[in-house]
A and B are shown apart, each in its own frame.
Chain A
Amino acid sequence: MAKSITTHRGSSLLTSTTHSGGIEPRSDRAALVLALGEQLRQIEGARFTASAEVISSGHAALDRLLPEGGFRRGSLVEWLSSGAGSGAATLALAAARPALENGQALVVVDRRRRFYPPAALRLGIPLERMIVVRPANDADQAWALDQALRSRGVAAVWAAVEQAEDSTLRRWQLAAETSGVLGFLLRSKRARREPSWAELRLGIEPVASEARTQARAPRLRVQLLRSRLGRSGSTVELELPFPATWPGDHETYRQTHPVPLDSSLAAAKARRRPKRA
C-alpha cells in the first residue's frame, strides 16, 4: 500500500481520494483533505517527523498562503518564476532569514557567480553567517547542494537550479529531511510540468506596477502550485522587500549614531591605531 502511494504523483492521487469522499458535507471536505494530506505525508516521508519546527517566512501574507503557516525545517521549497527580474530570488532570500535565528549558517550555491551579497545584507542577513559555494559545473553543483543539505550546521540553502534530474531532487529532499535543513531552490517556470519531490512549490510572478503611482517596492503574486498537504492553487499578492531589520535594529542605530559625512573617512580614522611593537 505504502509503496504504491509513494510511486504515484501527489496531485492525481489526491483528486481521486476527494472524489470518493464526495458524499461528505462541504464543510467537512476541506478538513478531510487536510487529514488525508497529513496521512499521505506521513506515509511518503517516513523519517520526516511532524515535530520539526515550522518557521515563519517573516511575511504575514506569505505565511497565510502556506499550509502550515510557514516553512518546516527539513523541507525543500521550489520557487518557480518566469522572468529574470521577477523578484523570486529576493523573496526566497528574505524568507530564509528567519531560519537563521538559531545560529546556523546560510549556504548560497552560486553556480553562475552572479550572487551579490550586499543585497542579502540589506535583507538583514549577516554576511559572517553566509557561506557562498561556487561550483564549476552542474555535477559539482548537485554534489555541493547535497552536502550542504546534509549538514547539521546549516540552517538553509539557497540555490538557483536550472536543470536537475528527478533522482537528484529526490536525493536532496532526503538529505534535507535527515538534517533538518531548509532548502530553497530557485527554478524556471518551465520546471512546473516536471514531477517534484519538494514539500512546497511556489510560483512567483511580478505584478506590473503601472497602476500605482508612488510605491517603489515591487509587488509579487505568489501562487501555491503544489503542497504535500494538498491545499494548493491559492494566490496571494505581497510586497517586497521585507522590512529589513538590522540585527540590533538598524533604525535605532541610525538615530543614536550620527552618520559621518563620508563613511570611508570614518573608517580610516578608526583604523589609525598605534602600531604594536
Chain B
Amino acid sequence: MVLYELHASGAAKVTASCPKLATAAAAPWTHTTDGIRPGMPLAEATSLAARAASDEAAAPPHLELVDPLADRLAIEELAEWCAPFAPTVGLEESPAPESLLLEVTGLGRLCGGEEKLARRVVAAFAERGLTVRAALADTLGAAWAVAHFAPLECPERTSEVEAILAGLAEPLIVPEGESPAALDPLPPAGLRLPADTCTLLAELGLHELRQIAALRRETLLARFGPQLLARLDQARGTAPEAIVARAAPPEWTFEWLFEHPTGRREMIEWTVNELVARTCEALAREGRGVLRLECRFEPEQGAAERFVIGLYRPSASPRHLEELLRLKLEQVRFREPLVSIRLRVLALARLECRQREFFAGDDSRDAPQHISLLVDRLSNRLGVHAVVRPWLLASAQPEFTCQYRPVSSLKERSLKKLGKAARSPALPSAASRSTLESGERPVHLEPEPRALAAISVAPEGPPMRFRHAGRDERVVRVWGPERIETSWWRTRCVRRDYYQVETADGDRYWLFRELNSGEWFLHGTFA
C-alpha cells in the first residue's frame, strides 16, 4: 500500500508506504537499502513497487490518494472513544496529529497499577484492530519521546512481523522520577522539534539527548532559539505542560432526561429545539458559535443513535442549527422509546460579528454568509463529498485535469473568495492556463471512457461511423486529432488521438482512439 498526494503542479509525491514495501522494493541499482520513502515521486515509487511485485510474484501495490480530512476525523473519533480511560484526552499539537494523549495521573491505583492500565488501553485498541505503541511517563514530553523513539524489544518469534507486533504490544512504563534518565539515550527528534532543527543538531554531532542536556543553557538558547529549551524542560519535567483536552469542556453539553421514555416524534423534535435554544443562549453569551455539534439519542435498550452536524462557519443561531438538525433527524428512525437526548458541542469558535448596514440592500456583500449557510445545509444532508469545488491540475489527461474537493473542508478564506466580487482577479494559475490553451473541452465528460464500435477508413484516420446509445451515427465533420500522450509517471501509459466529431443531426461528441490498441472510445459530449 502506498499513499500519495497530488500537488497543484500535477506532481504526485509519496506520503507514506507500508514498511514491507520500504525494504522489499529496494532497487538493486541503488546502494542504499531503503526502497519507497516519503517525498519520492510517485513514478519512481510505482516502478520500484512493480519490480518488487514481479520479483515476488505478488500483486502490484495499492495506490491511494491521501485524505488529510479523513485522517483528522478518524483520530478525533479515536480520541472520543478513549474517553473511558482518562478524564482528559487530547491530540498532539500538530497540523496532522498522530498521537493521542491521555492524562492518567492518579488513575494507576484504580486499575491496580499503571502497567495494568496501559495494558488495558493497548488491549482495547487491539480489539479494534489497531496496533498502538503506548508509553507512560511523568511528563507528556517524555512519554511522547519514549513512544516514538525507544528501541523495540522484540521477543523471539517465528516471523519478523509477529515479533514487531509483540514488541509493540508491550507498553513502555517509565517509573516515577526517572524521566530524565529514560530520555538520555533517545535522539533529539524525540523533543518534538521541527525537522530543520533536528538536522542542525545532527550536523553538530548531537545524536542523543544526554549530549544536549549537558550543554550550557545559554549556548542552546543563542543557537537554537527558545523552542529547544522549552521542549527539553517540558520533557524533563522542569517546565509544566498540560494536555489540551480535545473535547469541548463539559459545560457545553446539554442533556434532557425524559421522566417517561418517549418515542413521539413531536416530543423529540421539541426537545431538540429546546436544547438547541439553550446551547445557543449559553454560547452567544460568550460570543462563540458552534462548529460541530453532536446529537445523541439514548434509547431504553440497544445502541444509541448519534449524528454530528458540521458547520462551515461558527453559528449561534438557533434557527440555523435547528434546521440542520432537522435535516438529519428526518433520516433517523427510532425503534425504541428514548430515555435521554444529549447535545454536545464538539468544536466551537469565536463568532464573527458584523455591523448591520443602515442602508441595507447590497446583497452581494452578504453573499459569503449566504453561501456558507447553503453549503452547511447541502453538505449536512447530501454528505460532504456531494458538495464540491473543482480544482485544476496541470495534467494533460482529461480525466485527471480536474479534481473535486469538498467545499466544507476548504479554508474559510477560500469561501470568502467564492463570494467576493472578482474585480481584481488573480492571474490564471499554470493549471488553468494549460486548460485554456488546450483544445476545446466538452461540458459533459464520461466518468470512464466508453468503448464504442467505430469505423474509420484510413488506419490512423478519423472515424466515419460509430454506434452510440443504440443508434448508428454518421460522422459528417471531424476536427482533430488532438494527440494526448502523457503519463509514464502514472500507473498506466496513455496515448490517445482525440477527435471532435459532428453527426448528421448536428450533435457533437468527443471520441478518441487508443493508439496502443486501436480501439475507439467516447469520452465526452458537447452538450
Question: Which residue numbers of A lie inside 8 Å of B, CB to CB?
Answer: 82-90, 93, 100-105, 107, 112-122, 126-136, 140, 143-144, 147-148, 151-154, 160, 180, 186, 205-210, 216, 218, 244, 246-248, 250, 253, 259, 263-264, 266-268, 270-271, 275, 277
Does the CB pair B477–A117 fall under 8 Å? no
10 further interface pairs, Cβ-Cβ under 8 Å (given A116-B441, A140-B381, A250-B428): A100-B422, A114-B446, A115-B444, A119-B442, A127-B389, A133-B378, A152-B370, A153-B366, A248-B427, A267-B431
Q: Which residues of B contact A84 (CB under 8 A)?
A: 444, 469, 507, 509, 525, 527
Chain B residues with a Cβ closer than 8 Å to the other chain, count: 80
Does the CB pair A131–B375 fall under 8 Å? yes
Query: What string of 1s and 0s marks CB contacts (under 8 Å) between B11-42 and chain A?
Result: 10000000000000000000000000000000
B181 within 8 A of A: no
Cα(A85)–Cα(B374), bound, Å: 32
Does the CB pair B386–A116 fall under 8 Å? no
Q: Which of B482-527 contact A (CB under 8 A)?
A: 502-509, 524-527
Cα(A116)–Cα(B484), bound, Å: 17
B432 within 8 A of A: yes
Does the CB pair A277–B434 fall under 8 Å? no
Q: 28 A-B contacts, Cβ less than 8 Å apart?
A: A82-B505, A84-B507, A87-B526, A90-B443, A102-B363, A102-B364, A105-B418, A105-B419, A119-B443, A126-B425, A127-B389, A134-B386, A140-B382, A151-B374, A152-B363, A153-B369, A153-B373, A209-B477, A246-B428, A248-B427, A250-B436, A253-B428, A264-B394, A264-B434, A266-B430, A267-B394, A277-B194, A277-B196
Chain A residue at minimal CB-CB distance from B431: A267
Cα(A271)–Cα(B7), bound, Å: 9
Q: Smallest CB–CB gap between A15 and chain B, Å?
A: 32
Does the CB pair A264–B9 fall under 8 Å? yes
Q: Smallest CB–CB gap between A264 and chain B, Å?
A: 4
Stretch from B98-106, B242-250, B266-274, B400-408 forming part of the interface with A: B400-408
Q: Smallest CB–CB gap between A31 and chain B, Å?
A: 33
Does the CB pair A135–B386 fall under 8 Å? yes
Cα(A113)–Cα(B448), bound, Å: 11
Chain B residue at minimal CB-CB distance from A210: B476
Binding site of B, secondary structure by majority: helix, strand, loop or mixed? mixed
Q: Which residues of A contact B508 (CB under 8 A)?
A: 85, 87, 206, 218
Q: Which residues of A contact B419 (CB under 8 A)?
A: 103-105, 153
Given contacts A116-B402, A153-B367, A210-B477, contact A270 B418 (CB under 8 A): no
Partner pick for B390 among A117, A122, A133, A264, CB 8 A cutoff: A117
Does the CB pair A151–B388 fall under 8 Å? no
Q: Smallest CB–CB gap between A172 and chain B, Å?
A: 15
Given contacts A105-B419, A130-B389, contact A121 B435 (CB under 8 A): yes
Chain B residue at minimal CB-CB distance from A117: B390
B371 within 8 A of A: yes
Cα(A110)–Cα(B377), bound, Å: 17
Q: Smallest CB–CB gap between A79 and chain B, Å?
A: 10
Does the CB pair A275–B196 fall under 8 Å? yes
Q: Which residues of B contact A160 (CB under 8 A)?
A: 527
The 3 closest A-B pairs by CB, nearest first: A153-B370, A206-B506, A103-B421
Given contacts A88-B527, A147-B374, contact A263 B394 (CB under 8 A): yes
B86 within 8 A of A: no
Cα(A246)–Cα(B425), bound, Å: 9
B351 within 8 A of A: no
Q: Smallest CB–CB gap between B105 and chain A, Å?
A: 34
Does the CB pair B525–A248 fall under 8 Å? no
Chain B residue at minimal CB-CB distance from A112: B444
Q: Which residues of A contact B506 (CB under 8 A)?
A: 83, 86, 205-209, 218
Q: Which residues of B contact A88 (CB under 8 A)?
A: 527
B417 within 8 A of A: yes
Cα(A101)–Cα(B422), bound, Å: 8
Does the CB pair A121–B392 fall under 8 Å? yes
Q: Which residues of B contact A119 (CB under 8 A)?
A: 441-443
Does the CB pair A127–B367 fall under 8 Å? no
Q: Which residues of B contact A128 (CB under 8 A)?
A: 389, 414, 417-418
Q: Which residues of B contact A113 (CB under 8 A)?
A: 447
Does the CB pair A131–B389 fall under 8 Å? yes
Query: What string of 1s and 0s marks CB contacts (under 8 Å) between B232-261 and chain A?
Result: 000000000000000000000000000000
Does the CB pair B527–A86 fall under 8 Å? yes
Q: Which residues of A contact B441 (CB under 8 A)?
A: 116, 118-119, 122
